[in-house]
Every structure is written in C-alpha cells, then in structure tokens.
C-alpha cells in the first residue's frame, strides 16, 4: 500500500500529525510531496526571504526523509488548479490508497483542498486531514452561541481555561521504515535565488541549529522577555514566527518549552503564551470567516476612510525616506533583512494608515512581500487591528506617536543609526527629530525632512474617524 503526505506549512518531521498518522501503517510506502506554486497572485505571494528559507529547508528535509526510507517528491506548478490535476495523476500512477495532509485555513487553500478531497474520495482514495497549525484546533474555542470569538480578550480567557484542563500532546518522529520500493526520478530542487542576502545565522534551517536557537531563548532571554521585548536594539524576542508559520517547529512543542521553562519566569511565559494565542485567534477568525483572507474586514463599512492614493508618501514609507528616523530605520531593516520587531511593525503600519492615510491593504501587501515570517491570516489580522477596522477594535483611536515610541524604545538611537547611516553624526538628543540639527550642521545631507506634520495629520485622522462614526 502506498500513501501520500502533502507537506505545506508543516515543514518538519517531529510532531507532524499528517506524517505521524501516515507512518502508523508500518508496511505502507510513504511519498512526501511538496508543490511550489510559482504564479500566485501578488497579494498572496510569500516573501522573497521566505522562499529562500523554504528552498533550503526542503533540501535539508529531502535528505532527512531519505534516511527514513520515505520518498520525497517536489513539483513546481503554476496554479492551485494545476496542483489538483497533478495530485490526481500521481495518485493514479502510484496506486495511492490514502492521502494525508494538515489543514490550511486560508480561503483559497481551504477551497482547493475541498475540491481535491472530493475528487480523491470519488477515486476511492481515503483522505485524512488534521488540525496541526494552531495550539488549540480552531473548531474548539467558541462562544456560548457556538460562534468564533471576535474579541481577543474573551477568546484568550476561554483558551486559557481549556489549556488548564486539557493536556496538549506532542507526537514522536516516525521511525525508519522498511525499504520503500517506489522508484521515481525526482528532479533536483532547483535553487535559483540569490542567497547571499539570507541571514542563516539568525534563521537557521537545520533542526539542530533551530533547537539551539530556541533553547538559547528559553535559557537566556525569556526571563527578561516581558521587560525587553519592545526594545528595538535588543533582539529579545524568540524570533520563532517563521518557524511556527511554516511549521518547521510544532506549536505544541513550543508550548511545551514555555511550560518547561516557566518556573522562574512566570510573567514572561504568560505573555509569550498570550502571543501564541493571538496567533491562534487570527487563524480561528480566518477559518470561521473565510472572507477575512482577502480584503474584507468586520468594520469596513462603518469606519471606511477615504485614502489618499499618494504615491510619493507610499514610496517614501517603503524606502525608509519619510524623515521620521524610527519609521525609516524599521522600513530599511525590513527591506534589508526581512525582519522587524513587533513594536516596530505596529509603529510603521500605524504611521502608514493613520498619518499618511494610505489604505492598509497596500501596506499589508508590502509586508507580505518582505517579511520572512509573512502569513496571510496573521498579517491581515494585525493590519486590520492597527487600522481599527478589524476585530477587537477599541473605542478610542489607537495611534503610535513615532517620536514618543522612538524615545521610549530606542532612546540612544542605536537601532536608528544601524539602519539610517545618514544620521551617524547626529547627537543622541537630536536623533529622534534630526531635521533642524542636520540643516544647521550637515546641510548637504540627503536625509529628507519629515514628509508630514505628525500632529496635523493626527488631528485630521481623528476628525475623519469621527465623521465616519
Ligand atoms: C502590521 C503587523 C503585521 C504583522 N505581520 C505578521 C506576519 O505576516 N506573520 C507573523 O507571524 N506575524 C506578524 N505580525 C505579528 C508579530 O509582529 C510577529 O509575530 C512577531 O514580531 C514575531 O516575532 P517573534 O517570533 O520574536 O515573537 P515573540 O514575541 O517571541 O512571540 C512568540 C510568537 O507569538 C506569535 N505572535 C507574537 N505577536 C503576535 C501578533 N501580534 N499576532 C499574532 N501572533 C503573534 C508569533 O507566532 C511569535 O513567533 C505582524 C504584526 C503587525 C503589527
């Protein structure tokens, strides 16, 4: 008997539900399949940095599967439709009896799987799918009416109650199998991206090094996580979002580490767990209200703000040339490394939407194209939250003042100077508002003066919000 496991955002061997249950049948041949869709719509594209990471991880996994006598099949296709056709053809070719996969919650992926499953079942192939990407499966945490929570606070409360009662179980790695007698020519995974930009030290792709990174965080950093997580020059967060989103590490395993190292770090561990629940929350929402995968939002009609399609503002924002050092440092970091700390993501996104008055979807798309951990549900969820059109919006207008944030979280300008080289000579006391100092001391500088007046745009935005209410 031969089974297929379709890998998607579960690029691991340990505690992988689909792989584990497929391997339970000791004598069956296992083919692990990965399909790359290379002609995705721009909006849903994954970032360049993530692509490089995925390729490296796949090359690594291919070797690992080989040592387990599991065949690995890689295919590059144009569209989801082609992937359905391709899977049906290989199922026929290798007389597949069972097909395993872990569920993806985003609309297009979910619908594709639904169509495929129907066709497989019609061809008498058993389809087995699993909830694997969230800490608590999305069909569990519901309000009293049986619906998904739209407010994080209540979702969190119920999730914590659940976690207190139920044990989260991690599954073991599959053991080496008796020889696999399937023969197929698997073309080499072509690696055609310039990989010199990828920071492998920060984001290793081999299990051993990833474990080392995680243990370093739990042993050395977590006790100060609650205090330090927002300081831009400290790198004090776990930097695990990429691994969780691509399923390189299991979220259950990550939770297990939180519990294990929780003893002396109760406050930090709790905040970290809360962050994982934010992740679950956005995945739950997209699973239950699948329109959220696209541009729909809960409060769009109520608080729609006419956005100025200002190409100059958008270009300045994405290139890090707004004249606001903290914004520019963040946007340059994103472009150069594919990374930005959560605090900075909030500051830069709020600035785009609430000060430059640009549609959140344009910013969200830019983040999707650059963030190494880009993920549709989490990215969209956060952008909507920032724009006050998502779930859990507060009644007051949440805005991040870049001057205050800069003074608070990069007080000496260490982070700013790392990414905005034009400001290297600016004294600390002027670093958050360098324009006047530059004008006087370095008049030939190329660093721009602020493209907007922060306070004027703030007043304008609040007035618009009130008008729309
Ligand atoms: C505008 C905006 C866009 C974002 N886009 C993405 C995205 O595309 N992909 C993504 O994974 N995260 C996104 N985030 C959330 C957050 O910024 C990152 O998850 C976090 O910075 C990752 O760093 P970390 O792993 O060190 O987090 P830690 O602080 O170590 O937190 C641990 C884990 O909790 C989860 N988490 C933390 N904060 C959030 C959050 N606000 N929402 C959901 N989950 C969270 C992540 O999985 C993270 O790895 C976005 C936030 C904002 C404000």
Say if ligand 1 is within 6 A of residue 210 CB: no
pLDDT in tens, 93-121: 999 999 999 999 998 899 999 999 999 99
Say if ligand 1 is within 6 A of residue 7 CB: no
Say if ligand 1 is within 6 A of residue 133 CB: no
Query: What global pTM score does this model have?
Result: 0.94
Q: Look up residue 221 and give its DSSP letter.
A: I
Say if ligand 1 is within 6 A of residue 365 CB: no
Please provide the DSSP assignment of 38-71 as one string: -S--GGGPPPHHHHHHHHHHHHHHHHHHHHTT-E
**Which residues lie across from 126 on neighbouring strands?**
98
So what's the pLDDT on residue 300? 46
3-state secondary structure of 188: coil
Q: Whose CA is nearest to atom 37 of ligand 1?
A: 275
Q: Give the C-alpha distances (Å, rounded to integers) separating 126 from 111, 121, 362.
A: 18, 6, 41
Burial of 311 (0-12, 13-18, 19+ CB in 10 A): exposed
Superfamily of structural domain 311-468: DNA Cyclobutane Dipyrimidine Photolyase, subunit A, domain 3 (1.10.579.10)
How far is residue 340's CA from residue 235's CA, in Å, rounded to a whole number? 10
Q: Whose CA is nearest to atom 23 of ligand 1?
A: 239
Please tell me the number of Cα atoms within 13 Å of 113 on its side-chain side.
19
So what's the pLDDT on residue 465? 76
Kindly give the number of the ligand 1 atom that is closest to the alpha carbon of 340. 21
Say if ligand 1 is within 6 A of residue 229 CB: yes
- Give the residue from 237, 196, 197 showing the smallest Cα distance to 214: 237
Q: Look up residue 181 and give its DSSP letter.
A: -
Structure tokens at 438: 């530059």
Q: Looking at the domain covering 133-169+207-288, what would its CATH class be?
A: mainly alpha
Identify which of 48, 373, 409 to mutate to test ligand 1's pocket (most ligand atoms within 8 A of the CB).
373
Burial of 437 (0-12, 13-18, 19+ CB in 10 A): middle
How far is residue 403's CA from residue 457's CA, in Å, rounded to a whole number? 14
CATH 3.30.70.100 fits domain 2-131: no
8 Å CB contact between 422 and 445:
yes
How far is residue 416's CA from residue 193's CA, in Å, rounded to a whole number? 29
Q: Whose CA is nearest to atom 26 of ligand 1?
A: 239
Kindly give the number of the ligand 1 atom that is closest to the alpha carbon of 240. 25
Q: Whose CA is nearest to atom 30 of ligand 1?
A: 238
List, in order, residues 6 or more apart from 367 with CB less than 8 Å away.
Answer: 334, 345, 349, 374, 379, 383
- Give the residue from 435, 405, 338 showing the smallest Cα distance to 52: 338
- Give the residue from 459, 317, 361 showing the smallest Cα distance to 401: 459
Residue recorded with tokens 């977590």: 222
How far is residue 174's CA from residue 166's CA, in Å, rounded to a whole number? 25
Q: What are the sequence ranges of the domains in the chain?
A: 2-131, 133-169+207-288, 311-468
Say if ligand 1 is within 6 A of residue 9 CB: no
Buried b (16+ CB within 10 A) or exposed e, 172-209: ebbeebeebeeeeeeeebeeeeeeeebeeeebbbebee
Say if ligand 1 is within 6 A of residue 345 CB: yes
Say if ligand 1 is within 6 A of residue 214 CB: no
How much of the chain is in helix, strand and coil states, percent to nearest 5?
50, 5, 40
- Compute, in angstroms, the gap from residue 245 CA to the centroid of ligand 1: 10
So what's the pLDDT on residue 289? 86
Q: Look up residue 246 and give its DSSP letter.
A: T
Say if ligand 1 is within 6 A of residue 346 CB: yes
Kindly give the number of the ligand 1 atom that is closest to the alpha carbon of 245. 11
Q: Give the C-alpha distances (Å, rounded to integers) separating 217 from 57, 213, 313, 434.
A: 21, 6, 38, 35
3-state secondary structure of 10: coil
**Which residues lie across from 101 on neighbouring strands?**
6, 129
Please tell me the number of Cα atoms within 13 Å of 297 on its side-chain side.
26
Please tell me the number of Cα atoms within 13 Å of 293 on its side-chain side.
16
Say if ligand 1 is within 6 A of residue 400 CB: no
Say if ligand 1 is within 6 A of residue 275 CB: yes
Q: In what order do the strands lie in the sheet with 29-37?
A: 71-77, 29-37, 2-7, 96-102, 126-130
Identify which of 159, 244, 274, 275 to mutate to test ligand 1's pocket (most ligand atoms within 8 A of the CB).
275
- Compute, in angstroms, the gap from residue 300 CA to the centroid of ligand 1: 23
- Compute, in angstroms, the gap from residue 143 CA to the centroid of ligand 1: 25
Q: How far is CA 5 from the centre of its chain?
A: 23
Say if ligand 1 is within 6 A of residue 367 CB: yes
So what's the pLDDT on residue 301? 38
Q: Taking the chain (469 residues) in consecutive chunks of 10 residues, what is each chunk's mean pLDDT?
A: 96 98 92 86 71 92 94 90 95 95 93 97 97 95 94 95 95 89 69 66 95 95 93 95 98 95 85 97 91 59 52 95 98 96 97 92 92 94 86 71 97 98 97 97 96 93 77
8 Å CB contact between 354 and 393:
no
How far is residue 372's CA from residue 384's CA, in Å, rounded to a whole number? 20
């Amino acid at each position: 008997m031969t089974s297929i496991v379709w890998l998607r955002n579960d690029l691991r061997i340990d505690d992988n539900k689909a792989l584990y249950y497929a391997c339970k049948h000791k004598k069956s041949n296992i083919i692990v399949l990965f399909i790359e869709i290379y002609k995705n719509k721009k909006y849903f594209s994954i970032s360049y940095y993530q692509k490089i990471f995925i390729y490296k991880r796949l090359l690594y996994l291919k070797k690992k599967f080989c040592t387990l006598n599991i065949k690995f099949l890689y295919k590059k296709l144009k569209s989801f439709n082609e992937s359905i056709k391709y899977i049906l053809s290989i199922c026929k070719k290798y007389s597949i009896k069972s097909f395993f996969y872990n569920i993806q919650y985003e609309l297009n992926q979910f619908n594709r799987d639904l169509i495929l499953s129907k066709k497989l079942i019609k061809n008498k192939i058993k389809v087995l799918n699993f909830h694997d990407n969230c800490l608590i499966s999305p069909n569990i945490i519901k309000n009293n009416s049986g619906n998904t929570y739209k407010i994080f606070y209540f979702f969190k409360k119920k999730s914590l109650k659940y976690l207190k009662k139920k044990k989260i179980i991690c599954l073991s790695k599959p053991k080496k199998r008796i020889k696999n007698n399937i023969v197929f020519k698997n073309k080499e995974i072509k690696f055609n991206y310039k990989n010199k930009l990828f920071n492998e030290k920060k984001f290793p792709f081999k299990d051993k090094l990833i474990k080392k990174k995680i243990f370093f965080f739990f042993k050395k950093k977590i006790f100060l996580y609650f205090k330090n997580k927002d300081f831009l020059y400290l790198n004090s967060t776990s930097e695990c979002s990429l691994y969780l989103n691509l399923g390189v590490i299991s979220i259950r395993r990550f939770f297990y580490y939180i519990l294990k190292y929780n003893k002396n770090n109760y406050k930090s561990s709790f905040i970290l767990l809360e962050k994982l629940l934010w992740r679950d929350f956005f995945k739950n929402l997209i699973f239950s209200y699948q329109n959220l995968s696209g541009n729909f939002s809960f409060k769009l009609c109520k608080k729609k703000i006419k956005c100025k399609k200002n190409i100059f503002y958008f270009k300045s924002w994405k290139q890090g040339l707004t004249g606001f050092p903290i914004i520019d440092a963040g946007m340059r970091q994103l472009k150069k490394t594919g990374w930005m700390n959560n605090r900075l993501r909030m500051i830069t996104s709020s600035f785009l939407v609430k000060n430059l008055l640009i549609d959140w979807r344009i910013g969200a798309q830019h983040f999707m194209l650059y963030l190494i951990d880009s993920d549709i549900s989490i990215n969209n969820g956060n952008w909507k939250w920032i724009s006050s059109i998502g779930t859990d919006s507060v009644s007051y207008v949440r805005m991040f003042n870049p001057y205050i944030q800069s003074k608070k979280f990069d007080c000496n300008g260490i982070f700013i100077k790392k990414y905005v080289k034009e400001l290297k000579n600016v004294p600390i006391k002027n670093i958050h508002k360098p324009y006047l100092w530059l004008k006087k001391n370095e008049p030939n500088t190329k660093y721009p003066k602020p493209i907007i007046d922060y306070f004027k745009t703030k007043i304008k935005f609040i007035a618009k919000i009130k008008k729309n209410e």
